[in-house]
Amino acid sequence: MSPVETFIELDGGFEPATVDAGEMLTGHYAGVTYGADAGIAALLERVRFQIDDQWLKYYRAAAPDHNERQTIARASLAAVASDIPLLLAFFLLLNAHGATQRMPVARGILNRKRIERDRAPLLDHIEVHASLPELSAARDEDAEVGSRRSPRLHHVRGHLVRREDRVFWRTPHLRGSALQGVVRSRTVCLSFGRAS
């Protein structure tokens, strides 16, 4: 785990961060940037990182050399810096009205069967689905609340199945819905032409 504390100020107001990562081990704030995307770079301008006080004392004693400090600081920043845009995007998605769809998953029927077989019940939970434009509204209306969408149509090879003290053979069959797509065979066949 990284010993870095992360400070986020979306309204701005941070003073310019130190360029030298090794300065983090003297108590200074550090900042990072991302040259491949201007949006992420603008977001990271509002984020500062600082080594936790307890770790700061440890590293001051353990790494007196400037090069060692730079290596430690860079490794610590690398462990946390890329998480910030992902976390902020996740929080935004959770708070955006209409961008997510919550689907409660009730395990009542399944749990009754599990309890009858002396198995631990599964927990009820809520699945959160992102409402992406490519998902048709018809599919969302057809899906019942609390049910999972059927998988894509795919081939299931024959296999042994064990249910408590019984073992039986399940024959090869097709499973899933062709409306969700079709999984083609992953078998690769090689053919060779005759040598002339």
Domain-ending residue, one of 92, 127, 148: 92
Residue of 139 and 163 predicted with greater confidence = 163
Domain-ending residue, one of 92, 114, 134: 92
Range from 38-42, 61-65, 142-146 carrying the lowest mean pLDDT: 142-146
Residues 45 and 104 placed together within one structural domain of the fold: no
pLDDT tens per residue, range 115-159: 999 999 988 888 877 765 544 444 444 454 455 667 888 778 878
Is the residue at 29 inside a domain? Answer: yes
pLDDT tens per residue, range 165-182: 788 788 888 888 777 777
Coil, helix or strand at residue 115: helix
Q: Helix/strand/coil (H, E, C) string of 52-106?
A: CHHHHHHHHHHCCCHHHHHHHHHHHHHHHCCHHHHHHHHHHHHHCCCCEEEEEEC
Residues 68 and 132 placed together within one structural domain of the fold: no
Residue of 176 and 185 predicted with greater confidence = 176
**Residue 11, pLDDT above cutoff 50:** yes
Residues 81 and 36 placed together within one structural domain of the fold: yes
How distant, in Å, are the alpha carbons of 93, 105, 113, 171 from that of 151?
A: 25, 17, 23, 19
* Domain extent for 48: 4-92
* First-last CA distance in the chain: 63
| CA–CA dist 181, 5 (Å, integer) | 45
Question: Which residues have CB under 8 Å from 6's CB, separation 6+?
Answer: 47, 48, 49, 80, 84
Is the residue at 140 inside a domain? Answer: yes
Range from 8-22, 45-59, 114-128, 148-162 carrying the lowest mean pLDDT: 8-22
- When pLDDT is averaged across residues 3-20 and rounded to a whole number, the result is 76
Domain-ending residue, one of 58, 92, 126: 92
- Structure confidence at residue 114 (pLDDT): 92
**Residue 81, pLDDT above cutoff 80:** yes
**Residue 30, pLDDT above cutoff 70:** yes
Residues 78 and 109 placed together within one structural domain of the fold: no
| CA–CA dist 71, 24 (Å, integer) | 11
Residues 113 and 128 placed together within one structural domain of the fold: yes
Residues 145 and 162 placed together within one structural domain of the fold: yes
Residues 108 and 176 placed together within one structural domain of the fold: yes
Q: Are 35 and 23 in contact (CB under 8 A)?
A: no
Residues 104 and 62 placed together within one structural domain of the fold: no
